[in-house]
Structure 1
Amino acid sequence: MEQTEQNLRQQTELYGEPLGVLMRRIAGTLGLTQARLAEAIGLSAPMLSQLMSGQRVKIGNPAVVSRLHRLDLLVHRVTEEGLAEPQIAIELDDIRGSTGAFTRSTPASAPPSSMPTASNPRPDQRPDPRTVVREIQDLIRGVASAGEVQRAAELIAAESPGLAELLLTYGTGRTDDAVAHYERHR
C-alpha cells in the first residue's frame, strides 16, 4: 500500500494529479469506457488500469502523454463550451489518430531544405492553415498545460495583449478559432 501511495504522489508531481483521477474525469465527461479511453490514447487496457490504480507511475510514450493532454483539453472545452456529441466524436477521432508532438515524415538523411513542413512546404504547395495551426497547438500544448498558458497570458496581457491573445488562442482555444486567427494575421 505504501508503494502505491508513493506512486500516486509521483503521478501528482508529474501530471498535476493522480492519473486515476484525471482519467476518470476524462472518461466520465466524454462518456468513454475504460477500454475506449485506452484505445483513444493508445495504451493497452491492462496498462491503463495499472496507471489508474497507481501500480505504475509514468507513461513512457510521449505520444500517449500528448493524446492524454489533448483529451484533458477536450474535457475543458466540453465543460466550458458545451460541445455537441458529433463534435466530440470528431475530436476523439482526431486525437486517436494523432502521433504526438514530434513526427518525421521523411528520412533523417534528407536535407533539411527538402523536408516539407507547414512552415517550409514544397515549392509547389502552400501550407494548409489547419496543419500549421495544429503544429503550433501541439508545440504549445506539449510544453504547458492549459492552466499554465492561461496564467502566462494573464501575466503579459497588460503589456502585450496581442501576445496574450496568441497564447490563449493557440494554447487553450478551439482549433477553428485558431485557424481563423491564423488566417487573419498571415
Structure 2
Amino acid sequence: MSAAEDTIVRNRSLQAEWYGEPLGERVRRLLDRLGLSQSGLAGVLGLSAPMLSQLMSGQRAKISNPAVLHRLMAVEELAADPGFAELPAARVKERLAEIRAESAPTTSGLRVPTGDRAPGAAPGAAAPERAPDGRAPGVRARAEAGARDVQALLREVASAGEIEEAAALLADRYPDLAEALRVYGTGRTGEAEAHFAQTVLRAPIR
C-alpha cells in the first residue's frame, strides 16, 4: 500500500470514529436524496468543492470549521424528515438557503485547556492579562478579540470580492487557507469566533 493509500485508509477510519462513518458515505446519501451536485452541496455547507471532494475521498480527515459541521447536520435533518418527499422544490431550495446562512452557535466536544498559559503558547510565555476580579479572560472573550483582529486586518487590506477571489485561487492546492480567508474575510463574526476558538484556542466557546 502506498503512503497516499495508507493516509486515505487512516483518514476514513478517523472519520468513522469522529462522525459515525466515513464522510463520503454520509455525503453521497445526501446527494442522492436532495438531487444536488457535489458542488451544489458544497455551496450549502460553505465549503469549496475541492475541499468537499477531499473530505469525501479521505484525502482529508476533519471538518475544521464548526459551522460547516453544523450545516451538514442541518441538511441531514432536512433530508431525513418523513415529509421531505412531499416538500415542493421551491421550499427545499429555500430551506437549503436558510441552512447556508446559519453559523454554529458554539463549538463543542473539545478539551478545555487548564492553567494560565494560553493554548499553544510556549512554556514560560506570559499568562493572559487578567480581569479586575483576578480571573483569566474567558475563551469567548479571547475568541472575540482574536477573530475580530484577524477580520479587521483582512478587511483593511482587501475588499470582500478580492478575498473571495483569492480564496477561489487557493482552494485547489491550499483548501484550509482558502477556508480561513472566507471565514475571516467574508464570513459572519460568530462563525469567525467559533473557528478561532477551535483552531487557535483549542477550546469551546462557553
Q: TM-score, normalised by structure 2?
A: 0.48
State the partner residue of 2:12.
8
Q: Please tell me the residue identity of whatever aligns with 2:47.
A: L
| Residue number in structure 1 paired with 2:23 | 19
Q: Does 1:56 pair with 2:51?
A: no
What is the TM-score with the length of structure 1 in the denominator? 0.52
4+ runs deviating over 4 angstroms = none
| Residue 45 in structure 1 maps to residue 57 in structure 2 | no
Q: Which amino acid aligns with 1:61?
A: N
Q: What is the aligned length? A: 105
Alignment of 1:136-147 (within 5 A): none
Give CA-to-partner distance per residue, 1:146-186, whole Å, 9 cap, x none. Answer: xxxxxxxxxxxxxxxxxxxxxxxxxxxxxxxxxxxxxxxxx
1: CA distance, partners of 2:20 / 2:78 = 17
Ranked by relative contact order (alpha carbons within 8 Å, sequence separation 6 or more), the top structure is 2
- Higher helix proportion (structure 1 or 2): 1
Match of 1:93 among 94, 97, 101: 97
Per mean C-alpha deviation after superposition, the further-off stretch among 1-10 and 81-90 is 81-90
How far the C-alpha of 1:26 sits from its partner, in A, is 0.8
Matched, 1:75 2:79: yes
Among residues 62, 66, 69, which one is paired with 1:65 in the alignment? 69
Taking only aligned residues, the RMSD between alpha carbons, in angstroms, comes to 2.2
Q: Distance in 2 between matches of 1:100 and 1:38?
A: 16
Distance 1:34 1:97 in 2: 18
SS in 2 for 1:55: coil
Distance 1:42 1:86 in 2: 20
Structure 2 residues not aligned, in runs of 5+: 108-139, 146-206
Cα distance, 1:28 vs. partner?
1.3
**1:88-144: per-residue Cα shift (whole Å, max 9, x none)?**
11210110111222499xxx69xxxxxxxxxxxxxxxxxxxxxxxxxxxxxxxxxxx
